[in-house]
């Protein structure tokens, strides 16, 4: 193979140009178990199934848990795997903060139409934000964006693009490219410009002015190492707060540290009141 041919092959195999493979590495939507596509019963909330329309004509499948007399609404962007029903435990816990919770599936997840892309999940987040503000009448100053794992990149993107009351990042990465290269070492062969333009660079956005920021991370996280939270907290601009959970992993907060998590989130939200 000639040098030129090798360079061409290297470029074609990069995440930017071999995007179908990169997407397969990142996104892992699961089908619903029978009957699991309906919102669960949560004691202190009224649950509704909602479909948010996109400019493309496709629709996103969403659940809205409305808590009586809630002053805040949490917009929940989930991780890279599963579907809405994979988050029942954290949804139950978050409604105990006294806030309403709105969660959506990205395109290609659960009953949402389409295929997921990095740009697409950011656009999905914007569409849901606009729906909450324009259709449900929720004021931006009462809206908290919450991201879980991959969703932390979406949440930080939303906070940079739209006015919100606060941001909560659970089990998040410093950037998608960084965690992708840590998880799949062969990707380290490619420089930044050979990755998709939208890299969900949470750290860069966190360095900019932002609303109150709460970073939540388990020390035992083997999917996104705790070092990502440490770097985010160290380099993010104020106001910021870090909740370290010594006995928690990536998605087990509800079973390993529910009280500490809940009390911290409630206190954090109290300081966002206007």
Q: What are the DSSP calls for 220-241, one per residue?
A: T-SSS-HHHHHHHHHHSPSSEE
Residue 24 pLDDT > 90: no
pLDDT, residue 6, reads: 46
pLDDT, residue 13, reads: 56
Task: With H, G, I as helix, E, B as strand and everything else as coil, classify residue 204.
Answer: helix
CA dist 185 and 213 (Å) reads 31
Most confident of 35-49, 108-122, 176-190: 108-122
Eight-state DSSP code of residue 63: E
CA dist 122 and 151 (Å) reads 9
pLDDT, residue 197, reads: 61
CA dist 144 and 156 (Å) reads 11
pLDDT, residue 11, reads: 57
pLDDT, residue 18, reads: 61
Nearest to 44 by CA among 69, 62, 63: 69
pLDDT-based confidence at residue 266 (cuts at 50, 70, 90): very high
Helix 118-130 and helix 150-161, axial crossing angle in degrees, nearest 10:
50
- State the average pLDDT over residues 69-97: 96
- State the average pLDDT over residues 206-225: 98
pLDDT, residue 194, reads: 67
pLDDT-based confidence at residue 143 (cuts at 50, 70, 90): very high
Of residues 132 and 25, the one with the higher pLDDT is 132
pTM as predicted: 0.92
pLDDT-based confidence at residue 219 (cuts at 50, 70, 90): very high
| Bridge partners of residue 244, in order along the sequence | 217
Contact 76, 86 (CB under 8 A): no
Q: Write out the E strands in the chain.
A: 28-29, 45-53, 59-67, 73-77, 81-82, 100-104, 143-148, 166-170, 213-218, 240-245
- Diameter over CA atoms, the chain: 69
- State the average pLDDT over residues 196-208: 86
Share of the chain above pLDDT 90, in %: 74
| Bridge partners of residue 213, in order along the sequence | 167, 240
Q: Which domains does the chain have, with CATH numbers?
A: 3-270 (3.40.50.1820)
Residue 180 pLDDT > 60: yes
pLDDT digits (tens, 9 = 90+) for 227-264: 999 999 999 999 999 999 999 999 999 999 999 999 99
Residue 33 pLDDT > 50: yes
| Average per-residue pLDDT for the chain | 90
Residue 196 pLDDT > 70: no
Alpha helix (H) residue ranges in the chain = 3-12, 19-26, 88-95, 118-130, 150-161, 176-183, 202-207, 226-235, 253-256, 258-270
């Amino acid at each position: 193979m000639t040098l030129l041919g090798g360079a061409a092959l290297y470029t074609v195999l990069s995440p930017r140009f071999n995007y179908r493979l990169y997407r397969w590495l990142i996104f892992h939507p699961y089908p619903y178990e029978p009957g699991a596509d309906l919102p669960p019963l949560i004691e202190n909330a009224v649950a509704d199934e909602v479909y948010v329309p996109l400019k493309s004509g496709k629709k996103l499948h969403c659940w809205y848990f409305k808590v009586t007399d809630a002053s805040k609404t949490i917009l929940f962007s989930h991780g890279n795997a599963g579907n809405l029903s994979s988050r029942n435990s954290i949804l139950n816990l978050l409604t105990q903060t006294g806030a309403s919770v709105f969660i959506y599936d990205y395109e290609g997840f659960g009953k949402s139409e389409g295929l997921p892309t990095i740009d697409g999940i950011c656009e999905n987040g914007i569409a849901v934000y606009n729906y909450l503000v324009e259709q449900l009448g929720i004021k931006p100053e009462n809206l908290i964006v919450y991201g879980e794992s991959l969703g932390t990149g979406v949440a930080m993107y939303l906070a940079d693009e739209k006015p919100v009351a606060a941001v909560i990042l659970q089990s998040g990465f410093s950037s998608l490219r960084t965690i992708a290269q840590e998880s799949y070492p062969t990707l380290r062969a490619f420089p930044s410009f050979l990755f998709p333009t939208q890299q969900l660079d949470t750290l860069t956005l966190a360095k900019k002015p932002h609303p109150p920021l709460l970073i939540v991370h388990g020390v035992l996280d083997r999917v996104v190492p705790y070092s990502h939270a440490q770097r985010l907290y160290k380099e993010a601009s104020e106001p910021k707060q870090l909740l370290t959970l010594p006995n928690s992993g990536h998605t087990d907060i509800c079973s390993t540290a529910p009280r500490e998590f809940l009390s911290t989130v409630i206190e954090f939200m109290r300081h966002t009141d206007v």
